[in-house]
Amino acid sequence: MRIKVCGITRREDAELAVDLGAAAIGFVFWSGSPRFIGSDRAKAIVESLPAFVTPVGVFVDQPREFVEETAAMVGLGAVQLHGSESVAYCRGIRGPVIRAIGFAEPSDPMSVQAWPADITLLLDAHDPDRHGGTGRTVDWTFAARVAAMRRTILSGGLRADNVATALERVRPYALDVSSGVESRAGVKDPERMRAFFQAVEAFGTVRLPPSPHASADRRSLGGGG
């Protein structure tokens, strides 16, 4: 199971995530977030990552030029969009794209089919102000129906004590965790991180059947990373 640890602001948190087996590390470049990080600090952390770990940048309704300049400067492997970005906007981004979809209530899974297959969808709790990192879960029944149709990253309120249930019910392609492994916004808690990865590993070892997307390569965490 691929895991992305998002909202990284400190090198030591990124290093621990990598040691625990994270496939991707997320950096929030939207200044409205309590997990905001500047490009220079993010670049320094990215330069310390192993080549097999994908750095992902999170953006919210920001100019495409800013997104692409930041991606090039920091060395991002994928871009994650958390605002109201359109299909056309996503199509204009060079490189893998993850599009976060926030749902306030259960919806028709077919509504996600408007998004091209090469754009990886991330399901998160709807929040028009904070745009992620709320600690609230999504509707897992709905998420499971989406995950059965296409490669899906599950986010929203995941913690060590509920991730096994989420995996059993949704069977996503990957997980995205942020607030559930923090001591405060932007500061990861080592024990919570270890407990989360251990819970995922224990579930996979005992109960998780092969994913229908298991043959896809690791870069698909970024979309298409």
| 44-78 pLDDT tens trace | 999 999 999 999 999 999 999 999 999 999 999 99
CA angle 168, 172, 176 (to 5 degrees): 110
Domains and CATH numbers, the chain: 2-209 (3.20.20.70)
Q: Which residues contact 217 (CB under 8 A, 6 or more apart)?
A: none
Q: Is it the case that residue 216 has pLDDT exceeding 80?
A: no
Q: How confident is the model at residue 125 (pLDDT cuts 50, 70, 90)?
A: confident
Catalytic residue among 19, 61, 90, 124: 124
Active site residue 90: no
Q: Is it the case that residue 181 has pLDDT exceeding 80?
A: yes
Active site residue 127: no
- Report DSSP letters for 38-86, one per residue: -HHHHHHHHTTS-TTSEEEEEESS--HHHHHHHHHHHT-SEEEE-SS--
Q: Flag whether the pTM goes above 0.85.
A: yes
pLDDT greater at residue 11 or residue 142: 11
Q: Is it the case that residue 42 has pLDDT exceeding 60?
A: yes
> What is the rounded average pLDDT for all residues in the chain?
87
Catalytic residue among 6, 13, 90, 176: 6
Q: List, as own/partner pairs, every contact residues 36-40 make where C-beta atoms lie below 8 angstroms and the sequence separation is at least 24, other chains included.
A: 36/9, 36/186, 37/8, 37/9, 37/186, 39/70, 39/73, 39/74
